[in-house]
Amino acid sequence: MNRKTIIVAGIGTDVGKTVVAAILTEALEADYWKPIQSGSLDHTDTDEVRSLVTNPKSVFHQEAYRLTQPLSPHAAAEIDGIEIELAKLHLPETDNTLVIELAGGIMVPLNKNELNINLLVKWQAPVLLVSQNYLGSINHSLLTAQVCRQMKIPVIGWVFNDQYLHYEEEIIQWSNFPRIATIPYSEEKDGIFINSQAAAISKHLNEFL
């Protein structure tokens, strides 16, 4: 296990994990890896992060599974006639810090017997949990935190994506996980935005990593 591996996990799908992963990759000048890509193979999350990161040090590693359908990994894999095997999900070789972005929420199935959470148990790397403001996000955030505690996942803390109002403080209080950063809402999530947020998060990362 690369001791510098950091996993970006979310409370669900489309909560901003890719943006957070790009910010973290830029802030740490880290490598990036998304083990499983479901759908959007013409412009993957790896492609998106690569387009947003400007430092010359980061390497963007090939996905282990590239699935054609924008579905839960287990369902997309079944359509493609393959089975995702955790034993084949080996971390890329690198001497650099590695940022890993999971597909979907932590309880998303990967096959008939295993979930994303099993990857977190397998790798035992520090995890950043991404939450986003929507009706039901408190419930989803606290359930995610509870499962991580039950499975003894080493959680660093929360990154809140977009404006959170009072929800942010409630999630911190009830989960007892700290806030690492709040990413403000922006219509333009481009390289300039990623760089500005990377500079902001860098000030706080050292005390948690």
Whole-number pLDDT of residue 203: 75
Strand, coil or helix: what is 35? coil
Q: In this structure, which amino acid lies at residue 101?
A: E
CA pair distance 30, 184, nearest whole angstrom: 22
CA 150, CA 163: separation in Å to the nearest integer?
29
Judge whether 128 and 183 are in contact, CB under 8 Å. Answer: no
**By the 8 A CB rule, do 18 and 101 touch?**
yes
What's residue 1's pLDDT? 40
Phi, psi of 200 (to 5 degrees): -70, -45
Can you give the pTM of this predicted structure?
0.93
Tokens of 121: 């148990």
What are the distances in angstroms from CA 29 to CA 63, 156, 169, 177, 197?
Answer: 19, 19, 30, 25, 13
User: For residue 208, what pLDDT is reported?
Assistant: 67
Residue among 117, 93, 94 at smallest CA distance from 10 = 117
Catalytic annotation, residues? 34
Q: What is the pLDDT of residue 179?
A: 92
Q: Over its length of 209 residues, how does the chain's per-residue pLDDT go in tens digits?
A: 445 899 999 999 889 999 999 999 999 999 999 999 998 899 999 999 999 999 999 999 999 999 999 999 999 999 999 999 999 899 999 999 999 999 999 999 999 999 999 999 999 999 999 999 888 899 999 999 999 999 999 999 999 987 666 788 999 999 999 999 999 888 788 889 999 999 888 877 777 66
* Superfamily of structural domain 5-205: P-loop containing nucleotide triphosphate hydrolases (3.40.50.300)
**Beta carbons of 44 and 137 less than 8 angstroms apart:** no
